[in-house]
Amino acid sequence: MSENKEFDKTLQLPKTGLSMRANAQIREPKIQANCFTGLYEWQASKPDRPLFILHDGPPFANGKPHMGHALNKILKDITNRYRILRGDRVDYVPGWDCHGLPIEVLAVETLHGPERTDPLRVRRVARDFASKAIAVQQQAFRRWGVLGDWNHPYITMDPTYEAQQLSVFHDMYRRGLIYRGFRPVHWSPSSRTALAEAELEYADHTSESLYLRIRLAPSDALARGTAQVARSQFSPKCPDWIKTTRSLTLCEVDSLDSLDVLRVVWVSTDPLPLLKSGVQ
């Protein structure tokens, strides 16, 4: 056998006209034009098809696309394409969330001195930052082949969108769906903004409080608010008192004042006499 013989010619490989090189810079624009461009508009123009709407939970407009964006958008695109193949007409309007702490923090980092505490300046920088992030992310999403109404996205900082939000809120209020309740508002002193429950991180804490169950016999003294209860009226059972361990005296007390009570959780069909008397 000759040393110069080409061994690849001795292999029984399939013959193909496909190039061995990807040539992505040349081939990708062709794939985009042939496989993605116009497909969404084509299927949207079929009014006789059943309508399928996929509501897009918007990403933050606060940076370049990453793997989280890819996972989110590609999974949604798989769903939309599947529905198109099933004969549905897909309505998918992509959007961006332009409000919130992530964008504000990035905007403040670019400012110096008094500008960092100027609300109008921070808003202008945040709006400009969000606009640039939207352009970068949209270009990437379209390059990934994600189908959608990219010419008419919804952007939460658009005045028209904000007006529609207020209109929907007012409609919900008129229907009685908006009401005032009691919930904690988690406030960040450093960022000077409210935080969601998911944004909180709790440190380990050992509480010095405990629940002590004490049963109170009926007494006119409680209703009168004099807070004088005889020792014989206490028994180490039932309704709930919250006490500090350092002041725990069990039942050896002569009056409510000596209990050092933090709060009473009163279980009663008529708690008004206690509330009026100032017992908390």
- Which of 20-29, 79-88, 186-195, 227-236 has the least mean pLDDT? 227-236
DSSP type of residue 9: G
Spatial separation of the C-alpha atoms in residues 183 and 193, rounded to whole Å: 16
What is 36-174's CATH number? 3.40.50.620
Give the residue from 147, 56, 27, 156 showing the smallest Cα distance to 97.
Answer: 156
SS3 of 260, please? Answer: coil
- Is the whole-model pTM more than 0.75? no
Please say whether the beta carbons of 221 and 201 come within 8 A.
no
Give the residue from 226, 230, 239, 223 showing the smallest Cα distance to 274.
Answer: 223
Q: What is the pLDDT of residues 16-67, one digit of tens each?
A: 887 778 888 888 888 877 777 788 999 999 999 999 999 988 999 988 999 9
Percent of the chain whose predicted confidence (pLDDT) is above 70: 72
Q: What is the pLDDT of residues 45-57, one digit of tens each?
A: 999 999 999 998 8
Domain residue spans in the chain? Answer: 36-174, 216-276
Please say whether the beta carbons of 265 and 242 come within 8 A.
yes
> How many beta carbons lie within 10 A of that of residue 234, not counting itself?
18
The predicted pLDDT at position 215 comes to 56
Q: Give Cα separations from 67 to 4, 72, 73 (angstroms).
A: 48, 9, 10
Q: What is the pLDDT of residues 212-267, one digit of tens each?
A: 555 555 555 555 444 444 433 444 343 344 444 444 444 344 444 444 443 343 34
